[in-house]
Amino acid sequence: MTTPTQQQRDFVHAIGEFCRRELPGASAAPHDAGIYAKLAELGWLGIALPEEYGGSGGGMTDLVLFLEETGYWQAPIGGFATSVITAAAYRNFGNEAQKRRVLTDFLNGRVLSISMSEPGAGSDVGALTCRAERTAEGWVLNGQKTWCSNAHIAEHILLVARTSTEGGKHEGLTMFSVPAGIEGLTVHGIDTMGGREVNDLYLTDCLLPADAVVGVEGRAWPQLMAGLNIERMILAAHMLGTARRAFDDTVGYVRQREQFGRPVGSFQALRHRLADHATELECTRLLVHDVARRIEENPGEPLPRAASMAKLKATEFAKAMALDGMQMMGGYGYATEYGMERLLRSSVVSTVYGGTSEIQRDIIGKSLGL
């Protein structure tokens, strides 16, 4: 693993200073438009976008550092992850007009969303049935999508629909650029343990222009596969920061909390558990940063095994760390006055979205020829 440059260390320091200044307390909202707008003004939202589109031209390592640090401070910018994933798809496959319009909106603080899942198509994306039919006026979409993160606050939704039933189940899928508020699209929020972050989308004779296709008609599957590195690394980096925060908060608590006349952290049962967590945290950090470097050094090359390992390790460790942190903090870990219960809520779902831990293990297993 390469050591971060001085510029990257200064960047991480600046993020920490921003969060200390702008986030005096934990925000209950997953996404704060005001904080997000300030990050846009600083130019940080475009950390991984090319300079020709107004970004900073940074690489995967820069993006990972940003996500890790904002994850550590629990910055309420829930719309950033889906925006970066979606922006990458537009950058790689959109036409010039789509890139200029959507990427500019993203850099100016607008949220982007991507919609793949359906009631009968989650991990098995090839089973989706939402239809897009070509007409003289363009494309007409009908069907339901679900678990669409941030669609309720998005300016643009990158939606995958079926345009053909010929060939295999992964053929005939097409990406469409769907503007928010378009007639025929209804967004219904889904209440979850983490608040209202995901949505059902209902499309009823939703008319899109002929040029709404992003990339090549019928080629959404390979286009989606090209973006798996960035999606998994975004989740891995954010959960690495979350795990760091859970660890630091736990250590800080057990150092101060006294029972039986001494700090509870001095008891061997807790001290040894935290020693193990410290080791796991360092292993996770090294893995995530190393995979980021490999992706940066091999642009455009899919690294499914490495990216899946990073996502699997970081999300599972963050969940385990937050759960054990709650246990060590006792009732205080469960109280909303403190941050541990929020860390647990955010980490539990991370092992589900973006490809479940079981899917990541399956990908890794197949890479071993199993």
pLDDT tens, residue order, the chain (370 aa): 668 899 999 999 999 999 999 986 655 688 999 999 999 999 999 999 999 999 999 999 999 999 999 999 999 999 999 999 999 999 999 999 999 999 999 999 999 999 999 999 888 888 999 999 999 999 999 999 999 999 999 999 999 999 999 988 999 999 999 999 999 999 999 988 877 889 999 999 999 999 999 999 999 999 998 887 889 999 999 999 999 999 999 999 999 999 999 999 999 999 999 999 999 999 999 999 999 999 999 887 889 999 999 999 999 999 999 999 999 999 999 998 888 999 999 999 999 988 999 999 999 999 999 9
Instruction: Tell me, yes or no, if 337 is annotated catalytic.
Output: no
Stretch(es) of the chain classified as CATH 1.20.140.10: 225-367
| Annotated active-site residue in 68, 69, 197, 231 | 231
Contact 78, 150 (CB under 8 A): yes
Q: Could you give the C-alpha distances from 220 to 89, 216, 247, 295, in angstroms and in order?
A: 10, 7, 40, 22
CATH 2.40.110.10 in the chain, residue ranges: 113-216
* pLDDT at residue 25, rounded to an integer: 63
- What sign does the dihedral 65-293-110-351 (CA atoms) show? negative
In single-letter form, the type of residue at position 12 comes to V
Alpha-carbon dihedral angle through residues 122, 347, 296, 112, given to the nearest 10 degrees = 60
Is residue 68 within 8 Å of residue 19, measured between CB atoms? no
Q: Nearest-CA neighbor of 287 among 369, 232, 345?
A: 232
Q: Which CATH number fits domain 225-367: 1.10.510.10, 1.20.140.10, 3.30.930.10, 1.20.120.1200?
A: 1.20.140.10
The residues, any chain, with a CB within 8 Å of residue 128's CB and separated by 6 or more, are: 116, 117, 118, 120, 121, 160, 161, 162, 173
113-216, what's its fold?
Answer: Butyryl-CoA Dehydrogenase, subunit A; domain 2 (2.40.110)
6-111 folds as Butyryl-Coa Dehydrogenase, subunit A; domain 1 (1.10.540)
Would you call 118 helix, strand, or coil by DSSP?
strand
134-143 CB burial, b ≥16 within 10 A, e <16: eeeebbbbbb
Pull the structure tokens for residue 283: 């292993």
- This prediction has a pTM of 0.93
Torsion of CA 231, 235, 241, 245, to 10 degrees: 170
Dist CA 284 CA 71 (whole Å): 15
Burial of residue 325 (CB within 10 Å: 0-12, 13-18, 19+) is buried
Residues spanned by CATH 1.10.540.10 within the chain?
6-111
